[in-house]
Amino acid sequence: MRRTKKAEQLAAEKFVSDTVARGDAARAGEDGNLPKGATHEIVEEPEGEAPKIRRRRFRLF
Amino acid sequence: MPPAPSSILAWEDDPGAPGSRRHPDAQPRPTLAAAPLPVSIDAKAPPAREFKVGSPEFRYWVAAEALARGAQFWGTILPKGTRWHSTNGARLPVELDEDVDLNAYYDRHGLHFFHDTVKGVTVYSGESPDVVCHELGHAVLDGLRPQLWDALSAEVAAFHESFGDMSAMLSGLQLQSLREEVLAETASRLDRSSRLSRLAEQLGWAVRQGHPDAVDRDCLRNASNSFFYTDPLKLPPTAPAATLSSEPHSFSRVFTGAFLNILAGMFRLQKKRDQAALLDTSRDAATILVTAIKTTPVVPTYFSQIATHMISADAATFRGRYRDALKGGFVKHGVLSLQAATSPPSPAPGAEDAPLARIALPAAHLGLPQELFVTAASHPKRFAVTGAAPDVGGTESPGHDDAAAAFLEDLVRRGEVDFNGHAVAETAVLAPKRRKTHEVVREADELVLVRRCIDCGVTLAP
C-alpha cells in the first residue's frame, strides 16, 4: 500500500525531530566542522518550524 | 630467481575484545590502487613485512588489507562504471588515526578512523577489518546510489548502516580462513552467532565500558538477532541496545538480521556445504543486493521495497533459486508481510461449511490454492482481560477467527509449517527449516492444518 504524501512528510518530520533529539544534528563551528558524533548540519532554523538539516557524514555507531 | 612475494600480518575480522586469543594471519601485500575502486591511505606505507601486533606498521597493513579486500570484492560485484562519489576524488582517501574518538566516519571526503584508551587498552577503530569494511560499505553504497545520502527517512538511513554491516560480513567471507572458522563455529548454520555475525567486538567492548546499554553485549552489533520490523514512526528516537529505536544503527539491525537469515538459507541450498560454496553464496547474495539497490525507488518504506526488489533480482539473475531463502528471511524479521511476500495466484474460493470448532482462513497469502482449515480456540472468554499494547493500555481482544489467523501467520513467519507440496511454489514462503511443528494435510477436498509436534524451546537454529 502506497503511503500518502502526508505520511511521507510525517516520516521526514519524524526523522528530523529524532535526529535533533538525539543530538545528531548540530550547527557547524566557525571552521565549518561539526561537533564530534554529529552526522547532520543544521543549515536553517525557521522560527516556529522544525530546523532544516543536511547530512554531512555517516558514523560507525 | 624472483624475490619471494612479500607478506604482511593482518586480522581477519577484528582484534577481538581484550582477553581473546586471536592471531593475525599472513596475507599477501595488498594493492590499494587497483581499479575500479582505488583507495589511498593518508600515510607513508611501511615496508611490506610481518610487523609486531600493536605497532603502527602492523595497524597500517591491517587497514590496507581490509580496504583492498573490500574494494576488490565490491569492484567485481558493482555494475561496470561505478566509481566513488565524485567529492571523494578518483581514489578514496583514508585517514587511519585522525583524533581521539571511539568511532569512524564516512563523509564524502573519505574514511576517517580514530583511537581512544579505555581501561588501559588503546583501541584503534582502523585496526578492525569489520569497522574498515563497514565504513567502506558506506562509500560503496554512496557511489552506487548517491540518492540515499540525504533522504530524510529512518529506513533509508538505517539501510545505509545495514549495508555497512553487510559489507563487513561479505568482505570477511572473501577470506578462506574466516569461512572455515565460521563454518566450524556455527556447525554450518550461519544464522547462529559467530565471528561473521558479531561486528566489531573490540570496539563494542570499549564502548560498553562507558555505556553498558549502548551496544550489544558481545560486540557492537550482532546480526544474529530476532528484531522484528516496526514502523519507525512508532519507535522512540533512542533506546537501549536490547530494544529497537528509530535511530538508524538500531533500526538497521532488522534488515541485517534478515540478511544473515537469508545468507544462511542460501548456503543451505548449495550442493556442497563447504567453504568454497560459502564463497559462492556470498557473491550471489551481494549480486542480488546490488541489483536490487540499483532499481529500488527511494521511498520511506525502503526496507520492504528493497526486499521485494531482491526477490525480483533473484528471479531475473538466478531464476528464483534463492526465492524461499529471501522470503523466509524477510518474513521472519517482518521486513515483508506475508501478504507482501506472496502474490495470490488466484482469488480464494468462497467459504465452505465447516464444523463448529474448525474455521476456514483465507490462505492465498500463504501460497495455498484454497482456504486452510484450522482448529480455532472458539470457547467463550471467561474474563475480560487483554495483553498489553506496545504504547499504552491494552490490545483489542481479537475474536477467535482473528486469533487463529494471527497464530497461523506467526507459524508461517517462523517457518514452522510444512506445506507438504500443497503450496504454490512460486508464491509460498517455504522456509528451509528442518523441524516443523505443523503441517498441511488434505482431508477429502479440504486443506487442514494439523500439529505435528510441540517444540519445547526457543527457535535458535533450524
Percent helix, percent strand, percent coil in chain B, to nearest 5: 40, 15, 50
Contact B232 A14 (CB under 8 A): yes
By Cβ distance, the residue of B125, B203, B238 closest to A22 is B238
pLDDT at B343 over 70: no
Contact B106 A58 (CB under 8 A): yes
Q: Which residues sit opposite A58 in a β-bridge?
A: B106
Burial of B456 by CB count in 10 Å (0-12 exposed, 13-18 middle, 19+ buried)?
A: exposed
By Cβ distance, the residue of B101, B105, B203 closest to A58 is B105
Q: Distance of CA B84 to CAs B108, B150, B387, Å?
A: 9, 16, 51
What pLDDT score was predicted for residue B352?
33
Instruction: Name the minimum distance, in Å, from the CA of A13 to any CA of chain B.
Output: 8
B280 touching A, CB under 8 A?
A: no
CA B86 to chain centre: 28
Chain A interface residues facing chain B, Cβ-Cβ under 8 Å?
3, 7-8, 10-12, 14-18, 21-22, 36-37, 53-61
CA angle B371-B372-B378, nearest 5°? 115
CA–CA gap between residue A35 and residue A25 (Å, rounded): 9
Q: Which residues sit opposite A52 in a β-bridge?
A: A44
CA–CA gap between residue B67 and residue B108 (Å, rounded): 16
Tell me how far apart the 2 most distant CA atoms of chain A are, in Å.
46
| Strands B111-113, B92-95: pairing kind | parallel
- Complex ipTM: 0.82
Q: Does residue B187 come out as left (phi exceeding 0), alpha (psi in the -120 to 50 range) or beta?
A: left
Confidence band for B453, pLDDT divided at 50, 70 and 90: low
**CB < 8 Å to B246, chain A:** 14-15, 18
The single residue listed with the C-alpha cell 543486493 is B289
Report phi then psi at B124, rounded to 5.
-105, 120
The answer to whether B114 and B104 have CB atoms below 8 angstroms apart is yes
Q: What is the mean pLDDT of chain A?
A: 89
Instruction: Name the minimum distance, in Å, from the CA of B303 to any CA of chain A.
Output: 14
Confidence band for B13, pLDDT divided at 50, 70 and 90: very high
pLDDT in tens, B402-447: 655 655 776 776 677 888 888 887 777 777 766 676 789 998 888 9
* Host H or E run for residue B417: strand B417-418
pLDDT in tens, B109-135: 999 999 999 999 999 999 999 999 999
| Strands B438-443, B417-418: pairing kind | parallel
Contact B221 A61 (CB under 8 A): yes
Supply the angle between the helices B248-268 and B302-318 in degrees, to the nearest 10: 20
The size of the A-B interface in CB pairs under 8 A is 78
**CB < 8 Å to A60, chain B:** 103-105, 125, 131, 134-135, 164, 200, 203, 220
**CB < 8 Å to A5, chain B:** none
**CB < 8 Å to A36, chain B:** 101, 103
The answer to whether B28 and B42 have CB atoms below 8 angstroms apart is no
Q: Distance of CA B255 to CAs B62, B251, B319, B425, B426, Å?
A: 28, 8, 23, 24, 23
Confidence band for A35, pLDDT divided at 50, 70 and 90: very high
CA–CA gap between residue B305 and residue B231 (Å, rounded): 14
| Chain A residue with minimum CA distance to B236 | A18
pLDDT at B298 over 80: yes
What does the DSSP assignment read for B27-92?
EEPP-SS-SSS-EEESSPPPPSS-PPTTSHHHHHHHHHHHHHHHHHHHHHHSPTT----GGG-SSE
Contact B104 A59 (CB under 8 A): yes
Interface test with A, best of B105, B231, B244 (most A CBs within 10 A): B105
Of B268-277, B278-287, B403-412, minimum mean pLDDT range:
B403-412
B296 touching A, CB under 8 A?
A: no
The answer to whether B217 and B123 have CB atoms below 8 angstroms apart is no
The single residue listed with the C-alpha cell 527457535 is B459
pLDDT at A32 over 90: yes
By Cβ distance, the residue of A3, A10, A18 closest to B237 is A18
**CB < 8 Å to A18, chain B:** 154, 237, 246-247
Confidence band for B339, pLDDT divided at 50, 70 and 90: confident
Of B279-288, B293-302, B368-377, minimum mean pLDDT range:
B368-377
Instruction: Name the minimum distance, in Å, from the CA of A33 to any CA of chain B.
Output: 11
| Strands A25-26, B111-113: pairing kind | unpaired
